[in-house]
Amino acid sequence: MTPAQEAGNSTDLEALARRGRQLVIESVAHSGAGHIGGPLSAMDLLVALYFRVLRIRPDETDWPERDRFILSKGHSSIGLYVVMALRGYLPIEELATFDSAGSRLQGHPDMTRLPGLEASTGSLGQGLAVGVGIALGARMRGLGFHTFVMVGDGETQEGMVWESVMVAARYGLANLTMIVDANGLQQYGWPLAPGGGNRGDRRDPLSGIRLRDALTAFGWDVTAIDGHDMEAIVEACLAARDRAAIERPMAILATTVKGRGVSFTEGRSEWHSRVATADEADAARLELAAVGDAQS
Amino acid sequence: MRDAWADTLIEIAVDNPDLLVLDGDLASSTRADRFAVAYPERFLQMGIAEQNMVGVATGLATLGYIPWLSSFAVFLTHRSADQVRMLVAQTHANVKIGAAYSGLLTGFTGKTHQDVQDLAIMRAMPGMTVIAPGDATECAAAVRWATKAPGPVYVRLARDAGPDLFDESYRFEAGRVISLREGSDVLIVSTGTQSARCLAAAEILASRGISARLLHVPCLKPVDAAAIAGAARGVRLVVSAEEHTILGGLGGLVAEILGEHEPRRLIRIGIADTWGESASNAFLLDRHGLSAERVAERVARESGRLDATAGAPG
C-alpha cells in the first residue's frame, strides 16, 4: 500500500495514524509552536476520513462532486496538514514549513493558501456554519456530496455552534455531519481539585451537560463512538453519509483521549499547546514505532 | 433607500441566477420580504442568528452563489464582526453585506440599534469594499455593481428615504469621489445620506457669503485619495461630515489623506465619540450637529475663526 491511496483495512489505517502522530510531534517540535493534544485526539478520525470515507481527489481539489471536510477546531491544523500530506495533497517535506513565514501551512487553516482546505478556521465555533452553507448550497445545486465538520467538545461552548445546529435541523440537512472530537480537556486544564466545592472552574468542562441529549433535542440524529476505533469511525461516517432520505443532520460524538498515542501526552491538558523537546520527540517516535512493531 | 436595495435585487435577480438573499428575521424592516415574495426559492431565512448567517453565506459562496445578507448594520458589523473578519474578509468570500438601519436615523430604536461605528470597523478590514450610498439611485447602482464585483462588499443602507442627488444616468464606480457643488473657501467632504444635508448646508453658507465645495464619497474603500487631496489644495479649511462617529470613518479617512498628502486644518463633523438615543430624526440630527443648519453654522464658525486668526497681528 502506498500512503497516498485509500487505505484498505483498519490495520493500515492504524499504521497511518501512528505515522501521522509522529509527524505531528516532529512538525510542532521543528516549528517550535503549535498544538499536540488536539491533533493527536483527532488523528484517528482524520485518517479514517481521508483514507476511507471522503470521496476526494487530492490532485483535483476543485472537483465539484468532492465530499467536503472542515476542521472547525482549527488549532488542530497540524493534524489535518499531516493527514493531507499522507494522502497526497502536499509533500511530506512541506510539513517542515508549518507555522513559518510564507508557508501554506499556517498556524490555523487558511483556505486562500492551501488548496484542499474548504474553509478558513481558527476562531472557534464558526466552521459548522460554513458547513451548513455548503450543505444547503449542495442541495440547491443538486450535488450529491456530503459535508463533514469536525468540532471540539470544548468548542461547543461557543454560542454560534448552536445557531448553526438549529438552522441545520430546520433545513433538514441530511447531507451534513458534525463530528465532535470529545477529548474532554481544554487549555485551562480544569483542575479537579479535591474539596473544590461547587465552583464551576474546578469541574470537568462539560460537567452536568448531556451533549447527546442536547443535540437530539435540537433535531439531530446522534451516534456515539470510540474515536480511536477505526472500524467504528468508518462505519459511523459511512452510515452518516448514506441517510439522504432521513432529513436530519447527523452528529457523531467521538470519545477520544487528548494527546492519544504517546504515553506522556495522553490525557494531559498541558500538552494542549506544548512543544516537545528533542528528547521527548525521540521518546514519542520510539513509542509509536514499538506499537507498530508489536502489531506487524 | 431600503426600498431601492430590495427592488434592485429583485430586478437583477433575473440575470443573476446565483443571487440569494439571507435574512436574519428582519426582512419586513429591511424590505427583503419583497425579494422573498418574488424569489421564494432564493430567499433563505436564517433566523435571529447573524453569526451563523455570515458563515452560511460563506459556505454558499464557495459553491458560486452570490449571497446578500439582510439585517441591521449593527448585527452585521458588531455582533458578527469576527465572522465577517475571519470567514468573509480573510478569505475574500463573495458575500455582500446589506447593512440596513445604519447610522443614527433608525426609527426610534435608540443607541442599542444605532450603528455609528460600522464604517470604521469595515474600513479596517483588508479586502473589504465599503460603500455608503447618498441616495436611492446611487444605492441601486451600488447594489448592481456589488453583485458583479468579486469579493466582499459592505453597503451601508439608510432606513429612510432622502432627497435625490443623482439621476438615472448615474453609474457607480468603486473609489470615485463626486463633486456635488463647486466652491472656493471651504471643502466639505461627506458620505452617505449626510451628503444631501451638506448640499443644503452649502446653500445656506452661500447665502452668508461663504463658498463651499462639496465632495461626496460614496465609496470609502477603495477611495480616490488623490482626488480628495487635490480638492483640498485650494482651500484653507476642510470639513468632513458623516452620520457616524468622527473616529475612524470618513473623518478618519480624510484626516489620513490630508495628513499624508495635503496638510490642512480639518474639522470632523459627526457623532463626537458618544452614543445616540431614541429620538426623532430631526432631534438627533440637531443634537449631533448633522442637520443642514447645524453643519452650516459650524462651517461658518470655523471659517470665521480662521479669518480671525489670519487677520490677527503677528
Give domain status of residue B168, yes or no.
no
Q: Are strands B219-221 and B129-131 parallel, antiparallel or unpaired?
A: antiparallel
Q: How far is A219 from chain B (nearest CA, A)?
A: 16
Q: Which of B122, B156, B190 is the last residue of a domain?
A: B156
Nearest to B60 among A128, A133, A166 (CB): A133
Answer whether residue A3 is part of any domain. no
- pTM of the full predicted structure? 0.95
What backbone torsions phi and psi does residue B291 show, to the nearest 5 degrees?
-70, 160
Q: Are residues B123 and B33 in the same domain?
A: yes
Is B17's Cβ below 8 Å from some Cβ in A?
no
- Asked if residue A4 belongs to a domain, the reply is no
- Helix (H), strand (E) counts: chain A: 8, 5
CB-defined contacts A:B, below 8 A? 97
> Do B126 and B201 belong together in one domain?
no
Provide the ipTM.
0.95
- Judged by a CB distance cut-off of 8 A, whether residue B55 touches chain A is yes
Q: Among all residues of chain A, which has the CA nearest to that of B19?
A: A137
**Residue B164 is assigned to a structural domain of this protein:** no
**Candidates A140, A143, A166; nearest CB to B47:** A166
Report the residue from B47, B59, B65 with minimal CB separation from A131.
Answer: B59
CB of A161 within 8 A of CB of A190? Answer: no
For B208, other C-beta atoms within 10 Å of its C-beta total 11
CA distance to A83, B103, B130, B201, B250, per residue, from B271 (Å): 52, 10, 19, 18, 12
Which of residues A4 and B157 earns the better pLDDT score? B157
State the total domains in chain A.
Answer: 1
Co-location of B24 and B128 in the same domain: yes
Using the Cβ of A118 and the Cβ atoms of chain B, whether some distance falls under 8 Å is answered with yes
Alpha carbon distance A260, A256 (integer Å): 8
Residues of B with CB below 8 A from A112's CB? 90-92
Dump pLDDT digits (tens) for B72-114.
999 999 999 999 999 999 999 999 999 999 999 999 999 999 9
Q: Do residues B132 and B16 share a domain?
A: yes
Distance CA A18, CA A73 (A): 21
Both B152 and B199 in one domain: the answer is no
Is B139 found in the same domain as B187?
no
Q: Does A120 touch chain B (CB under 8 A)?
A: yes
Q: Return the C-alpha cell found at A232.
A: 467504528
In a domain? residue A147: yes
Any domain includes B245: yes
B234 and B136 in a single domain? The answer is no
Chain A residues in contact with B54 (beta carbon < 8 A): 129
Q: Report the greatest alpha carbon distance in chain A.
A: 57
pLDDT(A193) > 60: no
pLDDT digits (tens, 9 = 90+) for B246-298: 999 999 999 999 999 999 999 999 999 999 999 999 999 999 999 999 999 99
Q: Looking at beta carbons, which residues of chain B come within 8 Å of A123? A: 82, 86
Residue A180, domain extent: 10-295
Q: Is the dihedral of CA B47, B51, B52, B54 positive or negative?
A: positive
The DSSP output letter for B78 is: I
Q: What Cα–Cα distance (Å) separates residue B47 from each residue in A147, B3, B44?
A: 22, 21, 9
Annotate B109-137 with DSSP letters as a single string: --TTT-BSSHHHHHHTSTT-EEE--SSHH
| Range of the structural domain that residue B131 is part of | 2-156
Interchain pair B55, A110: CB under 8 A: no
Among chain A residues, the shortest Cα distance to B91 is held by: A112
Q: Shortest Cα distance from B19 to chain A (angstroms)?
A: 12
Alpha carbons within 13 angstroms on the beta-carbon side of residue A171 total 27
Residue A8, burial from CB neighbour count under 10 angstroms (0-12, 13-18, 19+): exposed
Torsion over CA: A276, A277, A283, A285 (sign):
positive
Q: Are residues B69 and B111 in the same domain?
A: yes
B58–A166 CB contact, under 8 Å: no
pLDDT of residue A1: 41
The answer to whether residue A148 sits within a structural domain is: yes
Query: Cβ distance A199 to A209 under 8 Å?
Result: no
Same domain, B22 and B140: yes
Nearest-Å Rg of the Cα atoms of chain B is 19
Q: Is B166 within a domain? A: no
In contact, B187 and B237? CB cutoff 8 Å: yes
Inside any domain, residue B161 = no
Tell me whether residue A1 is in a domain: no
Among B156, B190, B207, the domain-final residue is: B156
Output the CA torsion sign for A261, A265, A271, A276: negative
CATH code, domain with B269: 3.40.50.920
Q: Report if residue B21 sits inside a domain.
A: yes
CA distance A178 to A131: 9
Tell me the pLDDT tens digit for each residue of B122-178. 999 999 999 999 999 999 999 999 999 999 999 999 999 999 999 999 999 999 999
A83 touches B: beta carbon within 8 Å: no
Q: Tell me the chain B residues in contact with residue A125 when contact means C-beta distances shorter than 8 Å.
A: 51
* B170 within a domain of the structure (yes/no): no
Residues B147 and B226 in one domain: no
For residue B35, the domain's CATH number is 3.40.50.970
CATH of the domain at A34: 3.40.50.970
